[in-house]
Amino acid sequence: MNPRELAADLVARDHKSVWHPYAPPEANPLYPVESASGVHLHLTDGRVLVDGMSSWWSAIHGYRHPAIEAALHDQLSRLPHVMFGGLTHEPAVRLCERLIALTPAGLDRVFLCDSGSIAVEVAIKVAFQYWLSKGRPERNRLLTVRGGYHGDTFATMAVCDPVNGMHDFFQGVLPDHFFAERPSCRFDEPFEERHIADLEAKLQQHGDQIAGVILEPVVQGAGGMWFYAPEYLRRLRALCDEHDVLLIFDEIATGFGRTGEMFGADHAGVSPDILSLGKSLTGGTLTLAATLMSERVSSTIAKGEPGALMHGPTYMANPLACAAAHASLDLLETTPWRDRVKTLEAGLRKGLEPCRELENVSDVRVLGAIGVVELKEPVDMSLVQPAFVEHGVWVRPFGRLVYLMPPFVTEAEQLDQLTNAVCAVVRG
């Protein structure tokens, strides 16, 4: 079979047995990938696409980086996996040490898990178990803001936006939590007390029921790609302290440089009590995530019943994934990623600005290596996705958002191709 026939055959086989994310049983359109390198996806039919998604924001160094692959080969020859119950290994211990040193101050215990959703699930469980250990079982609800997205597992769905989120279909099935207005202060606008008044009111009214406040710092990701003022986080930290409520940051999407700082919390100089990491932790090579917590949280759980954190994924602390994470962190330490993100930010601002004048566009916003064009109406994926492929790029919009999160190693010419394609497809 020629390349086009091979691609068609793979799609046909896929339609018989595979179920893809956020899609009906027979996903359409569907594009088979043969290989990937740098910022390019090589399709089975012979076409080559510039990737503007970083594989759902994780492949920050591009695909098949030789340093990460070398680390995987080395680890594979010694220890590809071992259970983490009762056993330990150097890649995991050293990774926990590095994450403690890298993340905001005060987080000194790390639980390694296997996906971003699970890292947030663990964070929620930690918050609940903290209060159970303190003899306060009534503090079993969470407070968050509208417009958030925290994952696809049961506990995480319950703190995603309950009306406009991806999981509103499950209302009535999920646990009931408290939702405040999302931060309305844009990233580059002054913060005012009115921006957090609704959240403060809910803390005052329901604080004795609330285990923790959970939100994505500075950038709300899949819930709306909204960027808000860092001062909001500083005020939130003070409110959580005042009401004796745990503060949980979900940095699955914002961690490891995407916003221009290593972590979203760094924009505000704020430390949470619990922090979840994932996605680009391994440079998009293998699945790995982590939940960090303060000594106050971990020691309280240790002193309570049953004295252990009651969670244990089979593949937690997988040595291969830990090796990939070390290689990715090494690259962040030795390459000018901040300069690259600043260059991408400038290119995204320039390249997406023409969309602002289009009749069907309601907003254009850029922060770090994130560029967003918000439309007035939801996109028609059956039309938009093929149009992007025809322009030689991989861009995966959702709802009313057409956005770019390219790898940090994307060159100017490749970024121009991405932004030109967005402008052309949005223009119609």
Q: Which residues are catalytic?
A: 22, 149, 250, 279
Q: Enumerate residues 6+ apart whose C-beta is below 8 A from 78.
A: 319
Q: Give the whole-angstrom CA distance, residue 428 versus residue 426.
A: 5
In what helix (H) or strand (E) does residue 398 lie, and over which residues does it extend? none
Q: Would you say the C-alpha torsion 94, 98, 101, 103 has a positive or negative sign?
A: negative
How many CA atoms lie less than 13 Å away from 268 in the CB half-sphere? 23
SS3 category, 362? strand
End-to-end Cα, the chain, rounded Å: 35
Q: What is the CA 293 to chain-centroid distance, rounded? A: 18
Three-state SS string over 198-230 comes to: HHHHHHHHHCCCEEEEEECCCEECCCCCEEECC
Map tokens 């005060």 to a residue.
106
Q: Residue 135, exposed/middle/buried by CB under 10 A (0-12, 13-18, 19+)?
A: exposed
